Amino acid sequence: MQEKDRFILDIKRLGINGEGIGFYNKLAVFVKNAIPGEGVDVEVTKVLPKMAYAKIVDWKNKSKARLEPKCKYYNECGACQTMHISNDKMGELKRELVIEAIKRYTKLNPTSFEIKKTLTMEEPFNYRNKSTLVVRRNMGKNAVSMIEEGTNKTFAIDTCLVQDEKINEINAKVIALSNELNVKSFGCEKYSWRYLVTRVAKNTNESLVCLVVYKFDKEIEEFAKSIVGRKLADSVYVNINNDDKTHEIFGEESIFIGGKKSIIETIDRYKFNIYPTTFFQLNTKQTEVLYEQVKKACKLTHQERVLDAFCGVGTIATYLANVSKEVVGIEYNKEAIEAAKENLKLNKTKNVSFYQGNTAKLLPELIAKDMTFDVAVFDPPRTGLGEDVIATLLKTNIKRIVYVSCNPSTLAKDLNLLSEKYKVRYIQPVDMFPQTSHVESITLLSLK
């Protein structure tokens, strides 16, 4: 196979980045915007030793699930990868992504336990409660921008269909104000403004704006105070990130400008403080679905001590407190632990305690002090639990483990190791990120 070769390819499955995958002489060929079940006329664009990439030239047959993407930026953006596929079909395909990961990375038989139907959203647009956008000069004016897929180039946008409509409105007003005040962004000499971060609490309608800047100069201060004065958001901050080589959005220092110190979001009956850098699930409505499924998997009867590892600001711990005897949370991030303790006071929760530190180090220390757990909930980052945490779990007799994962591959690798002592009962996929190929899942494991 060589570049510019052309042939008909049958698309067999979906890749983790939303591409269609077919096989040509046993070589996997990745095709952007192709859907499993389609026959496509493709042209090869890149050949590697174990895979190739191709683009669609024409269709032999189109899937009934194919849609015309609603977003005018869809082809150049890349933040959404599956807007051309119907919501119902994506639910099926996300379940299949989990199955493929189990087949590829474990010795487990995926038919030996239930992999449930994906819980999708009825309205799969305008769900994101946070936007983080670069600010660039465009045709002489500031504009929020996205990065073009596969490049370092940016292009201006005026709306995003997966962001909360209120976020789009706030961003437009903040950009208009910045142009009125001649605030400098990338493309101007001696500019400071880098990113615009906007958050909205879906259930309380409160909003927060944070300007991420190189330096907190007079221009930025007046701009931020004007956002407060014109009441464009309920809470306004400036964050200083003067490292021009990092890919991290936020720097270490956040300056409160005005309005409320934090905004409050609710999940079920529980309230949570949100600050500029607070981690909170991006899809509030599906978070309620996710946490209810976690509670269901835990099967709590008010008698259990529950571990909530990688607990963040304590959302799951708080959610489980009223059906547990005690909940113990572990989190590495100091700011998150402080916020978690605030949330306990906010919800008047008495039976939860938090420990700050690395789960791999803290968990064995707690167990060594005779702190036993009946149920453990893990919601790790995309990299998974890690070998040290798994090694600790294999030495315990925790009855049930509820594993919340945002990465089917690392989930499968961890389940393969845990299966030495634990039996997988079921996996419940949840669509937290419609219009993308990402899938969240909840796995229930029980002690053999």
Residues with a catalytic annotation lie at: 406
Reduced to 3 states (helix: H, G, I; strand: E, B; else coil), residue 62 is coil
CA separation (Å) from 436 to 33, 215, 326, 339?
12, 35, 37, 30
Residue 181 makes CB contacts below 8 A (sequence gap 6+) with 219, 222, 223, 226
Residue in 244, 284, 249, 247 with CA at minimum distance from that of residue 263: 284
DSSP 9-44: EEEEEE-TTS-EEEEETTEEEEETT--TT-EEEEEE
Reduced to 3 states (helix: H, G, I; strand: E, B; else coil), residue 268 is coil
Question: What tokens were used for 319?
Answer: 């959610």
From the CB of residue 120, how many other CB atoms can be counted at a distance below 10 Å?
A: 18
Rounded to whole angstroms, the maximal C-alpha distance in the chain is 66
418 — phi, psi (to 5°)? -65, -25
Residue 31 makes CB contacts below 8 A (sequence gap 6+) with 9, 11, 19, 20, 21, 22, 40, 42, 53, 54, 55, 56
Question: What tokens were used for 219?
Answer: 């221009």
Amino acid symbol at 408: P
Residue in 326, 287, 306, 323 with CA at minimum distance from that of residue 406: 287
Strands 39-47 and 51-61: antiparallel
Alpha-helical runs (H) found in 263-407: 284-298, 315-321, 334-346, 359-368, 387-393
